[in-house]
């Protein structure tokens, strides 16, 4: 009791001191910035959501915020029309066919690579790592023509692959893996490097080989990093339009949902209302991925390892 | 069960940076050997070379009769307890202890037997299913010990295993470790910077400084007969008194007193050393006495230490705790001449 009372007197004494003012002001500025950013992100999304429930005529004539006041004239027509559009189902299927391997492949390769960069000694390690980080700065568009040329020369085109009975998405898996690897390796190797070296030495004395250390110690301890990387890569591939169009083209049988979405809208912007509904519909998948992996972001997974 | 021999061992990182210089020690079978020294003295490196975590630049390390220079860590039949414990945080206590045995592809029931046995010895029976994060510091430390015990290694290596524990627990664990050593009948090599741990636990102590082995001996031996100025100053708390002195006709002359040396030495100048317990309030007739101007009085209940000036030198004295002394007082103290040390001015080696 007396301690609490004393603390309270002290804080009253400090009120309106310069330190108190800067503390409060700093907190205030931070809150304003966070709230401002949140509003800036949420308002357009909200606008899109409201629009997706409005009649085409209303969308054309008034702003989305007017729909928030009575009389309410919401409709589900956009959603039912959008779902009836012929190739949306194929689009979803294709998106899964593209996104799942295009997430698993780079994350798996990156985990192995990051482990070797972080904990194995080999000549030129630091230079190779530096080059890899440098690749983060290469613009995607720069790679389209050379990579396409190589793919065509190797026969990695949807038509050719289909004729061989192989999945037509292989070039896209490879491309997404390549684009995702530098960041994935960078992120994971930073995480692996932060693992305490005592763990590795202890495992070495216990008789664990490199692969055992990787599978039984490094991977289980890196679940949070792996989960966030999977989310990043999945979202990037799921939302991608350009890379898919370049490497497999816009044919309905191979196009992902993003291409189907674009095709809902006519060349002159008609059927705009369908796009809003479809955008929200396609958002469900990334949301499910995010929410289901979120529980792996356990803080303090390393707790109890090396501190007394 | 095995002896360990360091034979002219050198650890060099670059041409200029040598952290262990010509290290020679023979550690007997079932011995509790403590490597002690200030931080950066090379004691941990010496241990890590034995563990197989660092390459040996020159010389040989033998476990028993086997040269282990090129033997992988896992094949050296040793177990190590790290300062940080290095427990696997995602595994239960049971799995942490079973891990080294699983790596040896031991049968499940044998693993179970050994883990249960180790957990019984260490009192971890009720915690086997817990993760390390749900344990206290002392319990984690015991899990780390358990992981070493289950392997029944030839040699136990312990790298400052107590330094993450609080003072009280450290005292208890010190005693437990000694019991454990007696029960396991295995060679223990224990690295620490704490001279109290070294004195209390070691069968023998090896003192290192700046990569060089200074002295090896039993705690009593090292305390009573330090080989040089460094060892004399490192072992013992409060530290030994050092006063510059000149020698003439077998008598050492310091700034505040003179003392007849028990035997003649071959030096004109050097450092006279005597432990605080050699300076007391008991003055023997015809013995050496000195006058101290007291600066600080430390009462520990069982002891009373006086810190002050004798002539122009700083001296620490241990006096009767019932003696009433205030800072600023001048007291007459007697010096017990039986435990005098004298160190050469140049080489700092003990001459007495």
Q: Is B55 on the interface with A (CB under 8 A)?
A: no
Q: Which of A285, A291, A233, A239 is nearest to A107 (CA)?
A: A233
Task: Give me the residue from B73, B141, B147 closest to A204, CB to CB.
Answer: B73
Give residue A86's pLDDT: 61
A221 lies within 8 A of chain B by CB: yes
Regarding beta strands B251-253 and B241-248, do their DSSP bridges make them parallel or antiparallel, or are they unpaired? Answer: antiparallel
Inter-chain touch B82–A202, beta carbons under 8 Å = yes
* Percent helix, percent strand, percent coil in chain B, to nearest 5: 30, 35, 40
**CB within 8 Å: A308 and B100:** no
Q: How many CB atoms lie within 10 A of CB A196?
A: 17
Closest Cα in chain A, distance from residue B140 (Å): 8
Q: Chain B: residue nearest A197 by CA?
A: B86
Q: Cβ–Cβ of A304/B165 closer than 8 Å? A: no
Calculate the CA B179 to chain-centre distance: 18
Q: How many CB atoms lie within 10 A of CB B67?
A: 14
Contacts of A301 in chain B (CB under 8 A): 89-90
Residue B86 contacts A, CB cutoff 8 Å: yes
Task: Find the closest chain B residue to A199 by CA distance.
Answer: B86
Cβ within 8 Å, pair A205-B51: yes
Contacts of A216 in chain B (CB under 8 A): 99
Give the model's pLDDT for residue A268. Answer: 66
Rounded Cα distance between B299 and B305, Å, is 6
Give pLDDT tens digits along chain B (352 positions).
689 999 999 999 988 899 999 999 999 999 999 999 998 899 999 999 999 999 999 999 999 889 999 998 888 999 999 988 899 988 999 999 999 999 988 899 999 999 998 888 888 888 999 998 888 888 898 899 899 989 889 999 999 988 888 888 888 888 888 988 998 889 999 999 998 899 999 999 999 999 999 999 999 999 999 999 999 999 988 899 999 999 888 888 888 888 888 888 888 888 999 999 999 888 877 778 889 999 999 998 888 999 999 989 999 999 999 888 889 989 999 988 888 899 998 888 888 8
Cβ-based contacts under 8 A for chains A and B = 89
Touching check for B301 and chain A: CB below 8 Å? Answer: no
Q: Which chain A residue's Cα is nearest to B148?
A: A206
Q: Do A304 and B140 touch (CB under 8 A)?
A: yes
**Set of chain B residues whose Cβ sits within 8 Å of the Cβ of A219:** none
Q: Is the dihedral of CA B175, B176, B181, B183 positive or negative?
A: positive
pTM of the full structure: 0.78
Q: Lay out the sheet containing B212-217: strands in order across.
A: B66-67, B58-63, B4-12, B18-27, B212-217, B204-209, B32-36, B187-192, B155-159, B78-81
A196:B86 CB<8 A: yes
Say what angle helices B93-103 and B137-149 make with each other, to 10 degrees.
20
A304 with B134: Cβ contact below 8 A: yes
- According to the model, what pLDDT value does residue A305 have? 52
Q: Which residues of A13-43 are buried (b: 16+ CB within 10 A; e: fewer)?
A: eeeeeeeeeeeeeeeeeeeeeeeeeeeeeee
Cβ-Cβ contacts under 8 Å, A224 against chain B: none
pLDDT at A1: 38
pLDDT for res B261:
86
Q: Say yes or no for a CB contact (<8 Å) between A207 and B141.
A: no
**Partner B, chain A 267-296, Cβ-Cβ below 8 Å:** none
Measured CA angle at B191 (ends B185, B197), to 5 deg: 80
Instruction: Give the distance from residue B132's alpha carbon to the nearest chain A alpha carbon, in angstroms.
Output: 5
Distance from CA of B192 to the nearest CA of A (A): 17
The answer to whether residue B283 neighbours chain A at the CB level (below 8 Å) is no
Q: Extract the residue ranges of chain A whose pLDDT is less than 70.
A: 1-15, 86, 266-269, 297-308
A205 touching chain B per CB within 8 A: yes
Residue B228 DSSP code = B
Chain B contact present for A241, CB below 8 A: no
What is the value of ipTM here, to two decimals?
A: 0.82
Looking at beta carbons, which residues of chain A come within 8 Å of B79?
205
**Angle formed by the axes of helices A272-294 and A18-52, nearest 10°:** 130
Peptide bond into A170 cis (omega under 30): no
Mutate to test the interface with B, among A205, A215, A301, A303 (most CBs of B within 10 A): A205
């Amino acid at each position: 009791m007396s301690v609490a009372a004393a603390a309270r007197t002290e804080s009253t004494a400090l009120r309106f001191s310069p330190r108190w003012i800067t503390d409060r002001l700093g907190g205030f500025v931070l809150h304003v910035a966070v709230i401002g950013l949140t509003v800036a992100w949420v308002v357009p999304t909200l606008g899109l959501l409201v629009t997706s429930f409005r009649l085409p005529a209303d969308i054309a004539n008034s702003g989305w915020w007017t729909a928030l006041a009575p009389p309410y004239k919401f409709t589900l027509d956009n959603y039912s029309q959008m779902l009836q559009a012929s190739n949306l189902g194929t689009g979803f299927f294709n998106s899964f066919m593209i996104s799942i391997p295009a997430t698993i492949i780079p994350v798996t390769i990156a985990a192995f690579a990051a482990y070797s960069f972080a904990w194995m000694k080999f000549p030129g390690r630091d230079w190779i790592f530096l080059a890899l980080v440098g690749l983060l700065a290469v613009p995607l568009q720069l790679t389209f023509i050379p990579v396409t040329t190589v793919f065509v020369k190797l026969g990695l085109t949807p038509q050719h692959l289909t004729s061989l009975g192989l999945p037509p998405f292989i070039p896209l898996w490879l491309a997404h893996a390549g684009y995702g690897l530098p960041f994935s390796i960078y992120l994971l190797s930073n995480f692996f490097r932060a693992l305490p070296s005592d763990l590795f030495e202890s495992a070495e004395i216990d008789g664990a080989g490199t692969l055992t250390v990787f599978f039984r110690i490094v991977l289980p301890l890196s679940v949070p990093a792996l989960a966030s990387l999977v989310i990043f890569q999945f979202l990037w591939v799921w939302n991608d339009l350009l890379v898919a169009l370049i490497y497999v083209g816009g044919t309905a049988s191979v196009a992902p949902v993003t291409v189907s979405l674009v095709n809902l809208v006519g060349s002159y912007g008609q059927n705009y209302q369908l796009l809003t509904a479809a955008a929200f519909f396609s958002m469900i998948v990334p949301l499910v991925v995010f929410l289901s992996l979120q529980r792996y972001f356990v803080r303090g997974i390393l707790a109890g390892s090396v501190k007394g | 069960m095995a002896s360990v021999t360091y034979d002219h061992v050198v650890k060099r990182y670059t041409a200029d940076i040598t952290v262990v210089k010509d290290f020679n020690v023979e550690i007997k079978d079932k011995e509790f050997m403590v490597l002690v020294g200030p931080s950066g003295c090379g004691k941990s490196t010496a241990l890590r070379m034995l563990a197989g975590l660092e390459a040996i630049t020159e010389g040989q390390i033998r476990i028993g009769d086997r040269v282990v220079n090129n033997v992988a860590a896992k094949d050296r039949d040793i177990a190590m307890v790290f300062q940080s414990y290095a427990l696997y945080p995602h595994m239960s206590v049971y799995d942490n202890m079973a891990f080294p045995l699983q790596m040896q592809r031991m049968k499940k029931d044998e693993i179970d037997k050994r883990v249960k046995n180790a957990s019984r010895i260490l009192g971890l029976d009720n915690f086997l299913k817990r993760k390390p994060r749900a344990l206290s510091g002392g319990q984690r430390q015991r899990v780390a010990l358990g992981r070493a015990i289950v392997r029944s290694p030839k040699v136990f290596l312990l790298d400052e295993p107590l330094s993450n524990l609080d003072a009280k627990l450290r005292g208890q664990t010190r005693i437990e470790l000694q019991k454990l050593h007696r029960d396991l009948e295995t060679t223990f090599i224990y690295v620490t910077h704490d001279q109290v741990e070294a004195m209390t636990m070691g069968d023998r102590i090896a003192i290192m400084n700046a990569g060089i082995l200074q002295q090896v001996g039993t705690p009593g031996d090292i305390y009573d007969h330090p080989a040089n100025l460094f060892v004399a100053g490192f072992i013992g708390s409060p530290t030994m008194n050092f006063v510059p002195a000149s020698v003439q006709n077998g008598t050492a002359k310091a700034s505040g007193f003179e003392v007849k040396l028990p035997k003649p030495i071959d030096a004109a100048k050097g450092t006279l050393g005597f432990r605080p317990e050699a300076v007391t309030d008991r003055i023997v007739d015809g013995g050496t006495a000195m006058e101290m101007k007291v600066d600080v009085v430390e009462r520990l209940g069982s002891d009373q230490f006086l810190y002050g000036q004798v002539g122009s030198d700083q001296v620490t004295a241990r006096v009767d705790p019932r003696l009433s002394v205030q800072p600023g007082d001048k007291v007459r103290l007697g010096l017990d001449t039986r435990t005098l040390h004298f160190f050469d001015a140049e080489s700092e080696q003990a001459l007495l």
